[in-house]
């Protein structure tokens, strides 16, 4: 169906695949909006028909864009469409697309069917062109399973691309809720069956009543039900690319919803429900290699929220939200990098992946879990030691899983990547870590204090003598020597403090070098050792996920078993 729509646009309008997709996406948003208004009783007539467009053609020059105007108003807060966006199709082309789509009710179609259809359509349309926005499904599945999502968890992807992490989170937690509801009903049935004080009619009545009560708790259309909360209060994402923000949002709708928290916005800047200290889980595959320049500034439009929307978010999130928006509004006109601690020099460019590490950690609640795809240089480049120390000072590094070089070839990326999993310190853990760090620093400072004082005194005396004797070159050389000495000693002290800290606060880190991750360099399906599946390598009876869970349960026993296996 979607491919037919794509072919109509390609053949009639001669648009490239990405531009054709943009038009289909706009029309799909119009359709889902009309269906929603019908379902909620806000409209009595289905306006998404070819016949209705013919009727409206007598009144309006461009009836499709009249419908689209309402859609843009519906998604104004999410910034999914610009004010001047329009459906750029001839009337007969738009009508042909509507004719193809009008017989389907997306609200009633199975999430599995329409979700798979939309993802296949995305894959065929965008392979190669904007593939960098698509994280391979096997990587998504593995990362989701590593962070073990549960009902009540709130997730964010600040570079959501096509929405893969958010969709899989939604599916897994929805399955948990439905399975839990089934168990609750079966347990109740068993209890009722054992009761001797009831006849069969009374037992049947109790079962019906319990079933109705449970169904209410999992009715996604019912406000505050378990599935409604999952779809409307637990899923957030943003992407700086407008096309991908729309794609992510529509992908969520097709997979059963949860799209309300997805926005077109810079992932570095707070907006709506996306701000610091909010999330139990952050999963993301941020863009690699690009830079945040000094000229990338925070604009007023990026932090402007309609008054009613701001009132609602203030009601929902209280002081946390007000403080978060206050921070970014105070920074309007400054560089985006000025919001962060990691850039060494705010006046120079900074790699986006470095800022995303800090952003993701800041988005997490204390104790929250992070999974992020990063270029391998982050883990082994000596010049980036400060980034690794930044992470160590705020979170437990739970696992690093190295991926094959070709994992992202089919997405247009050649950088070798690894997956980093961290768990942010709780408030108590942070206090304990900071105390240990301060103590370690004090010990190392004391260790070198006498030596540094003596050497500094000696060089300062020499400098004073050279100055008195007007030996300018010697004085300058001695001053340079003193500066270099103090810098060298600071480096030594920092390294020794870090070493002592690791001795005082030791914990195990899971390391794994994956060779088969379910995708070839050309994007075809391959063997997969990351998690249990039907296509594990013959020599891999235990997956990486199994190893990790065993390691987390008992690191000492795991290492002992590993040594025995190697022997």
Q: Which residue has the tokens 């997709």?
A: 21
* Over residues 142-162, mean pLDDT: 94
pLDDT at residue 391, rounded to an integer = 96
Is residue 441 domain-shared with residue 359, that is, in the same domain? no
- Eight-class DSSP state of 425: P
* Over residues 129-154, mean pLDDT: 84
Is residue 153 domain-shared with residue 78, that is, in the same domain? no
Q: Would residue 51 count as lying in a domain?
A: yes
pLDDT at residue 107, rounded to an integer = 62
Q: Would residue 564 count as lying in a domain?
A: no
Last residue of some domain: 368, 391, 422?
Answer: 368
Give the phi and the psi of residue 326 in degrees, each rounded to 5.
Answer: -65, -40
pLDDT band at 130 (very low <50, low <70, confident <90, very high): very low
What does the pLDDT look like over 163-222, one tens digit per residue? 889 989 998 999 999 999 999 999 999 999 999 999 999 999 999 999 999 999 998 878
Q: Would residue 423 count as lying in a domain?
A: no
Q: Would residue 139 count as lying in a domain?
A: no
In the chain, DSSP finds a helix count (H) and a strand count (E) of: 20, 12
What's this model's pTM, rounded to 2 decimal places?
Answer: 0.84
* Over residues 331-353, mean pLDDT: 83
Is residue 196 domain-shared with residue 58, that is, in the same domain? no
Q: Which residue has the tokens 């949860």?
A: 258
Q: Would residue 124 count as lying in a domain?
A: no
Return the percentage of the chain with pLDDT > 70, whole number: 90
Is residue 287 domain-shared with residue 152, that is, in the same domain? yes
Is residue 8 domain-shared with residue 93, that is, in the same domain? yes
Is residue 154 domain-shared with residue 286, that is, in the same domain? yes
What beta strand segments (E) does 331-379 contain? 350-351, 364-375
> Per the structure, how many domains does the chain have?
3
Residue 455 has pLDDT above 90, yes or no: yes
Could you tell me the two tokens for 61?
Answer: 């020059």
Q: Would residue 118 count as lying in a domain?
A: no
Rounded distance between C-alpha atoms, residue 104 and residue 142, angstroms: 33
Is residue 292 domain-shared with residue 178, that is, in the same domain? yes
Is residue 104 domain-shared with residue 237, that is, in the same domain? no
Measured CA to CA in angstroms, residue 460 lies from 147, 473, 474 at distances of: 55, 15, 12
pLDDT at residue 5, rounded to an integer = 78
Q: Using H for helix, E for strand and C for coil, what is the string for 195-249?
A: CCCCCHHHHHHHHHHHHHHHHHHCCCCCCCCHHHHHHHHCEEEEECCHHHHHHHH
Last residue of some domain: 108, 131, 153?
Answer: 108
pLDDT at residue 129, rounded to an integer = 47
Mean pLDDT of the chain: 86
What sign has the CA pseudo-torsion 306, 307, 310, 315?
A: negative
Return the percentage of the chain with pLDDT > 90, whole number: 47
Is residue 66 domain-shared with residue 158, that is, in the same domain? no
pLDDT at residue 103, rounded to an integer = 80
* Contact status, residue 67 vs residue 30, Cβ threshold 8 Å: yes
Last residue of some domain: 108, 124, 157?
Answer: 108
Give the phi and the psi of residue 334 in degrees, each rounded to 5.
Answer: -90, 165
Domain span at residue 435 reads: 431-504
Is residue 297 domain-shared with residue 445, that is, in the same domain? no
Q: Would residue 359 count as lying in a domain?
A: yes
Is residue 285 domain-shared with residue 193, that is, in the same domain? yes
Residue 121 has pLDDT above 80, yes or no: no
Is residue 336 domain-shared with residue 197, that is, in the same domain? yes
What does the pLDDT look like over 52-110, one tens digit per residue? 888 888 888 888 888 888 888 877 766 677 778 888 888 898 888 888 888 877 666 55
* Contact status, residue 228 vs residue 234, Cβ threshold 8 Å: no
What does the pLDDT look like over 510-527, one tens digit per residue? 999 999 999 888 878 899
b/e map 203-223, b = 16+ CB within 10 Å: eeebeeebeeebeebbebeee
pLDDT at residue 56, rounded to an integer = 86
Q: Would residue 294 count as lying in a domain?
A: yes
Half-sphere exposure of residue 320: CA atoms within 13 angstroms, side-chain side: 16
What does the pLDDT look like over 19-57, one tens digit per residue? 887 888 888 888 878 887 787 777 778 888 888 888 888
pLDDT at residue 208, rounded to an integer = 95
Angle at 54 between CA 51 and CA 56, to 5 degrees: 110
């Amino acid at each position: 169906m979607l491919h037919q729509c794509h072919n109509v646009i390609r053949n009639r309008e001669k648009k490239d695949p990405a531009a054709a997709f943009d038009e289909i996406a706009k029309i799909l948003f119009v359709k889902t909006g009309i269906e929603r208004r019908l379902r909620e009783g806000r409209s009595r007539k289905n306006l998404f028909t070819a016949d209705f467009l013919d009727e409206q053609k007598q009144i309006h020059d461009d009836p499709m864009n009249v419908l689209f105007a309402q859609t843009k108003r519906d998604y104004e807060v999410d910034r999914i469409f610009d004010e001047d966006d329009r459906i750029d199709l001839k009337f007969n082309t738009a009508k042909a697309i509507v004719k193809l789509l009008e017989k389907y009710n997306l609200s009633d179609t199975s999430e599995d069917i329409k979700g798979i259809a939309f993802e296949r359509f995305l894959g065929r349309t965008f392979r190669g062109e904007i593939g960098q926005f698509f994280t391979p499904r096997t990587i998504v599945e593995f990362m989701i399973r590593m962070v073990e999502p549960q009902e009540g968890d709130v997730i964010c992807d600040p570079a959501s691309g096509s929405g893969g992490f958010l969709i899989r989170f939604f599916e897994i937690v929805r399955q948990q809720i439905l399975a839990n509801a089934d168990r609750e009903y079966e347990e109740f049935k068993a209890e009722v069956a054992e009761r001797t004080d009831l006849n069969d009619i009374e037992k049947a009545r109790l079962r019906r009543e319990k079933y109705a009560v449970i169904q209410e708790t999992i009715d996604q259309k019912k406000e505050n039900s378990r599935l409604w909360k999952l779809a409307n209060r637990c899923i957030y994402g943003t992407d700086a690319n407008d096309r991908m923000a729309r794609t992510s949002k529509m992908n969520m709708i097709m997979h059963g919803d949860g799209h309300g928290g997805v926005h077109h916005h810079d992932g570095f800047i707070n907006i709506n429900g996306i701000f610091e200290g909010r999330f139990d889980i952050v999963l993301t595959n941020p863009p690699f290699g690009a830079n945040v320049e000094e000229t990338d500034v925070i604009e007023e439009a990026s932090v402007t929220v309609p008054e009613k929307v701001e009132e609602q978010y203030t009601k929902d999130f209280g002081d946390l939200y007000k403080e978060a928006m206050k921070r970014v509004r105070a920074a309007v006109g400054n560089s985006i990098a000025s919001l962060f601690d990691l850039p060494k020099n705010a006046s120079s460019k900074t790699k986006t992946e470095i800022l995303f590490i800090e952003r993701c950690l800041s988005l997490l609640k204390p104790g929250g879990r992070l999974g992020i795809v990063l270029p391998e240089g982050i883990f082994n480049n000596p010049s980036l030691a400060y980034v690794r120390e930044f992470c160590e000072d705020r979170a437990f590094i739970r696992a690093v899983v190295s991926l094959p070089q070709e994992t992202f070839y089919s997405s247009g990326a050649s950088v070798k990547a690894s997956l980093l999993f961290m768990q942010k310190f709780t408030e108590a853990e942070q206090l304990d870590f900071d105390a240990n760090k301060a103590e370690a620093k004090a010990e190392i400072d004391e260790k070198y204090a006498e030596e540094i004082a003596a050497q500094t005194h000696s060089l300062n005396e020499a400098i004073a003598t050279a100055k008195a004797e007007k030996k300018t070159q010697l004085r300058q050389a001695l001053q340079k020597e003193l500066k270099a000495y103090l810098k060298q000693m600071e480096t030594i002290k920092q390294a020794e403090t870090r070493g002592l800290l690791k001795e005082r606060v030791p914990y195990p880190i899971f390391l794994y070098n994956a060779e088969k991750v379910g995708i070839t360099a050309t994007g075809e399906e391959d063997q997969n050792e990351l998690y249990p599946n039907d296509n594990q390598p013959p020599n891999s009876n235990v997956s990486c996920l199994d190893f990790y869970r065993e390691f987390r349960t008992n690191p000492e026993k795991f290492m002992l078993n590993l040594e025995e296996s190697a022997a």
